Structure 1
Amino acid sequence: MPAVQDVLVVGGGAAGCATAMLLARAGVAVDLVEIKPDVTSVGSGLTLQGNALRVLRDLGVYDEVLAAGYAFDVTGLRAPDGTVLVEMRDVRMGGDDLPATVGVPRPELARLLLDRAVADGVKVRLATTVTSVSPDGDVAFSDGSSGLYDLVVGADGVRSRVRELAGIPAAVDPVGMGIWRVLTTRPESIERTDLTYGGAAYIAGYCPTGEDSIYAYLVEDAQDRTGLSPEEQLATMRALAGQYGGPWVDIRERMADGAPTNYTHFESHVVAAPWHRGRLVLAGDAAHSCPPTLAQGCAQALEDATVLADELLAADDVETALTAYVERRLPRARTVVDGSVQLARWLLTHEPPPQAGGTADVPGLLGRTAALLTQRP
């Protein structure tokens, strides 16, 4: 018998939906609350590598994700003027039967996961969150209702309310970089991710997210951009994009007025063990977060869900299950966070590669990470 029969999941992102789906399919009664009234209202694009695709296939949504997104197996490196420097065949971390990468609009993935969770029997309430949570699973909600659960899963993001209520300490650290993102139409010439390191930004990159969409991004020093209007945000990103050649010329022209542009700062954290207090446990960004330099944020959230559900369904008691979950997930998540932060720091300090007397062994770091993530968590 599973360690739990009634579970509350707080947060309707990748970690929350995947955890809810896996438990519900095993006969567990699952409630899911999400503070946003519409999970598809925010976000631009996602780069899903093979280990994320492997989980999505296990969840039964891979075909829909593939239909909504854009698959590719090669990454290019370009000079700021657009000249192609290197074309690299990516590691298929999910196995030879899956592509190396699928780009997908973030709102579309959110919709697919939440819809499938509902279809699997998860009871979903939007525009709702928790106002109090006790270690024994007694919960009060923002809509005035309450409930008692065998387990509360805090999958409610970097600034997790569940983590705060549980008294689990976490220091979310700024990395020193900010990222502009935009979702726009795809020029026919873009069929893969290309990255430019250097020039006006630390990183200029893009990822096709569908037959007629791409997600483009530019990474700069972290700045306070909160006072900019949507029109000023778009103008600022267009000006930065104008410093790059090649496909960026087309991308810049396609950033039409009203394009959904957003700006966020890179942050990172890893909650020290244990990730649980009594019948409360953390997953996804509530437990660990990293800058997107390795494109592993969503993948690590999905891996949390699979391992957490696996342990809950295999163990006879909650404490055993949660202890095993953290033992399996913490080292792997920490490795990904540390690697993501290391890449960012090399860029911030302009650290040269080993052949030039420096320590920035980017190919080595990427290779070690790929070897780890090719293994199932």
Structure 2
Amino acid sequence: MSSSSRTVLVIGGGAAGSAATILLRRAGIDVDLVEARHDWNATAGSGITLQGNALRVLRELGVWEQVRASGHGFDSVGITAPDGTVLHVAHDVRTGGDDLPATVGMQRPVLQRILVDAVRAGGARVRLGTRPSSFDQDGDGVDVRFTDGTEGRYDLVIAADGVGSATRAALGIAARPEPTGMAIWRVAAPRPDGLTRTDLAYGGPAYIAGYCPTGENTIYAYVVEANRDRASIPAADFADEMRRLTCAYGGFWPEITSHITDPAAVNYTWFDRMLVEGSWHRGRVVLAGDAAHCCPPTLAQGAALSLEDSWVLAGLLAGADVWDDALLQAYYERRIARVRPVVEASVQIGRWQLEGARDADVPGLMGRVMTGLRELP
């Protein structure tokens, strides 16, 4: 079957779904992308930390120059005391190779707009505000009915519909995200003069207090605590709750805290972990990104792993004459060996903090995992 006669449905227009769509279209494969949200996630999230291995994929997508111009690149992370005293500055591993920064911080909606523009430029058929309602597979393809009453037939379906993936559940895959015991408050804020990298404070009223520059004039800031019953925290109190935690920190924090005033701008989420084991496909429906795995952001690898999934999967599909079970299982085997250590390390770092482990080698574990990510996925 020629590439031009193949059709793929991509479910979800986030990083993984957009990347898969861009790469498959470049290979001459017909792609329909459906996204449940009418606004295509245009305002979702405050900021995002992109490690070098994420930047490597974004360069393959043809959007690296836009990302570089829109975000802020840096190569080190500071460890501070709660009062802001810098205790140590570590040089980050350039996981994308020496010709890319170790890290770029940027506003998440800006990254989403860049990916959306690239998807549209690639010629995919995009439909917003709809999602699949049923799948009917046979040996040659998948018949899909959508919530807007339409239907279509595809040679393959890529489910990149996030950590709460309805497709994963519909396929009968039992894996579900599980809380790790921690939660994070996040907010976007103006960038203080002199703030040029991520700094992390351990201790104080939160487990971690940190921030990341996301552009010339912006940052996102976050504090990590033990998770609480979300129903017990009224949304109207989000700014007050985050300020209560951040006001105990020094350095740049007093200036950042002064801008935490709008509860609608503050996001509170639990840390979850999930890793689908055995295979990431059932028939001709295959998972990618957060639908297949998620982990706490302690290594800032969520977006990178999702982008890598799409790069690997699209490469295998574009290079194969036959799309069969063996090909999709090869995708899983290639990805699981890379994803599992990141998920396990991300969870372990949080567990050490919850347990108050004094002898935990966090820098050593992080260094080993990040060094391994320099290898091509």
Of 349, 358, 366, which residue of structure 2 is paired with 1:352? Answer: 358
Shift of 1:258: 5.6
Q: C-alpha distance in 2, partners of 1:135/1:105?
A: 39
TM-score scaled by length of structure 2 = 0.96
Q: How many angstroms does 1:3 deviate by?
A: 10
Inter-partner Cα distance in structure 1 for 2:15 and 2:23: 12
**1:184-222 CA distances to partner (integer Å, 9 max, x unpaired)?**
111112110000111110110000001111010000110
SS of the aligned residue for 2:77 comes to strand
C-alpha contact 2:240 2:263 (8 A) present in aligned 1: no
Give the corresponding residue for 1:356.
Answer: none
The residue number in structure 1 matching 2:108 is 106
In the alignment, which residue of structure 2 is the partner of 1:208? 213
Task: Measure, in 2, the Cα distance between the counterparts of 1:168 and 1:148.
Answer: 22
Distance in 2, matches of 1:230 and 1:277, equals 39
Q: Deviations over 1:41-91 (max 9, x none)?
A: 221110001000000011110111111111111100000111100011111
Correspondence 1:249 to 2:254:
yes
User: How far apart, in 1, do the equivalents of 2:150 and 2:207 lie?
Assistant: 48
Unaligned runs of 5+ in 1: 354-359
- Asked if 1:44 is matched to 2:50, the reply is no
Task: Name the TM-score, length of structure 1 as normaliser.
Answer: 0.96
Instruction: Tell me which amino acid in the other structure corresponds to 2:357.
Output: E
Once the 2 structures are TM-superposed, how far is the Cα of residue 314 of structure 1 from its aligned partner? 1.4
Corresponding position of 1:373: 373
Query: Quick check: 1:94–1:374 contact (8 Å CA) kept in 2?
Result: yes
SS in structure 2 at match of 1:43? coil
Using the alignment, how far apart are the partners of 2:136 and 2:232 within structure 1?
A: 38
AA aligned to 1:342 is Q
Match of 1:322 among 328, 333, 337: 328
Report what 2:266 is aligned to.
Answer: 261
3-state SS in 2 of match to 1:318? coil
1:16 — aligned with what?
Answer: 17
Q: Is the 8 A contact 1:135 1:279 kept in 2?
A: yes
Q: How does 1:34-183 map to 2 (within 5 A)?
A: 34-38=35-39, 39-136=41-138, 137-183=142-188
State the alpha-carbon separation in 2 of the partners of residues 2 and 162 from structure 1: 25
CA–CA distance in structure 1, aligned partners of residues 263 and 357 of structure 2: 38
CA distance in 2, matches of 1:132, 1:261: 36
Please give the alpha-carbon distance, in whole angstroms, between the structure 2 residues aligned to 1:265 and 1:144.
35
**Aligned mates of 1:347, 1:135 — CA distance in 2:** 46
Query: In structure 2, how many angstroms separate the alpha carbons of the residues matched to 1:229 and 1:41?
Result: 22
Change (3 A) 1:120 1:144: same
Tell me how far 1:352 sits from its aligned partner.
1.4
Aligned position for 1:27: 28
CA distance in structure 1 between the aligned counterparts of 2:354 and 2:339, rounded to whole angstroms: 23
For residue 5 of structure 1, what is the aligned residue in structure 2?
6
Q: 8 Å contact 1:2–1:315 — kept in the other structure?
A: no
Q: In the aligned structure 1, how far is the partner of 2:349 from the partner of 2:4?
A: 39
Q: Quick check: 1:135–1:166 contact (8 Å CA) kept in 2?
A: no
Q: CA RMSD, aligned part only?
A: 1.4
Q: Percent identity?
A: 55
Aligned residues: 371
Give the match's secondary structure for 1:153: strand
- Mapped contact 2:3–2:28 kept (Cα < 8 A): no
CA change 1:145–1:245 in 2 (3 A) is same
Q: Which amino acid aligns with 1:92?
A: R
Secondary structure (helix, strand or coil) at the match of 1:254 reads coil
SS at match of 2:373: helix
Alignment match, 2:300: 295
Structure 2 CA distance for partners of 1:135 and 1:365, relative to 1, 3 Å: farther
> For 1:172 and 1:331, how far apart are their aligned partners in 2?
20
Could you tell me how far apart the structure 2 residues matched to 1:232 and 1:175 are?
24
3-state SS of 2:258 partner: helix
* Deviation of 1:257 (Å): 3.1
Q: Is the 8 A contact 1:135 1:277 kept in 2?
A: no
Deviation at 1:118, TM superposition (A): 0.8
